[in-house]
Amino acid sequence: MFDPELYVRRRAAFLDAMAARFPNSIAWIPSAPAVPQGNDVFRQDSDFFYLTGFDEPGSVLFFDSKEKKTTVFVRPKNVKKETWDGPRAGVDCAKELCGAQESFSITQLDAKLCDLVKNHKTLLVHLGFSRANDDRVIKTLHKLRAKKRKGIVAPSEVVDPAVLLHEMRLRKGPEDLTAMSKAIAITAEAHARAMASARPGTYEYEIEALMLDTFRRNGSERPAYGTIVASGPNACVLHYRSNRRQMLAGDLLLIDAGCEYDYFASDVTRTFPLGGVFSREQQILYELVLEAQIEAIAAVRVGTTLEKLQKGAARTMVSGLLRLGLMEGDLDEVVKKQKFKPFYPHRIGHWLGMDVHDVGEYFIDGKPRPLEAGMVITVEPGLYIPLSNETVAAQWRGLGVRIEDDVLVTETGRDVLTKSIPKTVDELRYACSGAS
Ligand code: GLY
Ligand code: MN
Ligand code: MN
C-alpha cells in the first residue's frame, strides 16, 4: 500500500544522514533498468523503491544535501508507448509522487547532469550498478574536471550511497514489518498447503505450483527467490531448482520458499516426511537440526552476532554427529577447523528485508557486527548427507534437513515471525496427516 508519508520520512532521514556525514554531497540513485520484452517482469530497484515507492523504470533520483533538494527524472507521458506498456506517471505527477522539488523528462538527463553534480565535494553513487550508469558517471566527472579553470568543482570523492541507505534499510520500521508479516502469513499458508498435499507420486513441480499459486492468489507480487522443492536426496543440493522429481514413499521433502509482499521478502524452509511420519534416521537427524535451530533462535538478542549463532549451531550439530558415529574427531577441533563443512556447508543466516539476502554490512572494522533491535535475520541451520557420502552407514545417505525461520531482533530478545509454521515432530505429523 502506497503511504506517501512513509516515503517523505525516509527521504528526510536520508537527506539528514547525507548532511551529517557528507555535508556537501549529491546522491544519484537510478531506478532498475527496463526489462527487455520476453524476459522476466520488471521489479524496481530496492534502494529506489525504499525512497520513493515509485515503480517505473527509466527514472533517476538526485538528492542535494546542501539545498535539501530532491530532483527526479522520469519517462515522459507517451500515449503510443503507454498503449503497449501501461500508464506512466509523467513528469508532473512523478514530481508529486516522489516528493521532489523539481522533475524532468529522462530525455533531459544528460543535458542536466553537469549542473546537478558540479560544486559538490562528494558524489554518492553506486558504481557497478549498470554499465550505462557507470558510463554516465564517468562522462560527467570528465566534463566537470575539464571545467575547473572556470571555477567549477568536480566531486573529489565518489562514495557508495549504501553506507547510508543500507544502514537505514537494515533496521526495519513498523511499515517494513507490516509488509514482511503479510509476506510471511502468505508463505505460512503455502507451506501448510504443501504439507497437506505432498504424497508419494507427487511431482516436485506440483508442490512448486501450489506454493506459487498461494503466493499469487493472496496478492504477493512474486516469490522472493527461486522456489526449492527438493524431495529425497535432492534435499542435499543446496540450490536445487529443477523441481522435477516424482516423490517416493519414505521421502523427506525440503521446501525453501517464500513470497514477496509490498517489496518485502520472507524466507522459510521446512523439511518433513511425506505423510508426516519420520523414519528413525530421519527423525534423529531432524531433531538434531531442530535442537540447533531452537538454541540459535533462543540466543538471538541485541549484542550477539551471526558468527556466535553459527558457532553455537555448529557445535550442537557436531556433538550430535559425533554421538551418532556419523563423524569422528574431537568436538573442539572439528568446530574450530570447520571440519563439519561436508555436513553443514552454509552459514546460519543472513539479513532479511526488501531483498532476500538483504543489504547491510556483516562485519564492522573486521569484527562480526552485533545485532540490534529492528534487524531481521534468518536462522537456518541444516545437515546434509548426500548419497555419495560413503563415510556413513547406508541408511543415513540421501538425507537432507534444513529448518529456516525469520526472526526479528527486539529490545528484549526476539520475535520469531514465522512461528505459526509447523516445525516440531508432532506439529509436522498433524500438518501432513491429510496426505497419508
Ligand atoms: N532461500 C535462500 C536462502 O535461504 O538463503
Ligand atoms: Mn535464507
Ligand atoms: Mn531460504
pLDDT at 399: 98
406 CB less than 6 Å from ligand 1?
Answer: no
pLDDT at 221: 95
User: For residue 15, how far is its CA from the centre of ligand 2 (angstroms)?
Assistant: 32
Residues of the chain short of pLDDT 70, as ranges, are 1, 434-436
Q: CA–CA separation, 146 vs 153, rounded Å? A: 10
The grid cell for 399 is: 538425507
Q: Which of 131, 149, 239, 280 is catalytic?
A: 239
Pair 252, 279: CB distance under 8 Å: no
In this structure, which topology does domain 171-432 adopt according to CATH? Creatine Amidinohydrolase (3.90.230)
Could you say which DSSP state residue 79 is in?
H
Please report which helix (H) or strand (E) contains residue 60, including its range.
strand 60-64
Known catalytic residue at 380: yes
Known catalytic residue at 267: yes
User: For residue 57, how far is its CA from the centre of ligand 2 (angstroms)?
Assistant: 28
Q: Which of 208, 241, 256 to mutate to test the pocket of ligand 1 (most atoms within 8 A of CB)?
A: 256
272 CB less than 6 Å from ligand 1?
Answer: no
Q: CA–CA separation, 329 vs 155, rounded Å? A: 57
225 CB less than 6 Å from ligand 1?
Answer: yes
Q: CA–CA separation, 78 vs 385, rounded Å? A: 57
- Report the nearest atom of ligand 1 relative to the CA of 228: 1
Q: CA–CA separation, 245 vs 233, rounded Å? A: 10
Q: Whose CA is nearest to atom 3 of ligand 1?
A: 267
pLDDT at 34: 87
Known catalytic residue at 166: no
pLDDT at 119: 97
240 CB less than 6 Å from ligand 1?
Answer: no
- Report the nearest atom of ligand 1 relative to the CA of 256: 1
The arrangement of secondary structure in 4-168, i.e. its CATH architecture, is: 3-Layer(aba) Sandwich (3.40)
- Domains in the chain: boundaries: 4-168, 171-432
- Fold match between domain 4-168 and domain 171-432: no
Query: DSSP assignment of 312-372, as one string?
Result: HHHHHHHHHHHHTTSS-S-HHHHHHTTTTTTT--S-S--B-SSSSS--S-SEETTEEPPP-
Please report which helix (H) or strand (E) contains residue 273, including its range.
strand 268-273
267 CB less than 6 Å from ligand 1?
Answer: yes
User: For residue 285, how far is its CA from the centre of ligand 3 (angstroms)?
Assistant: 19
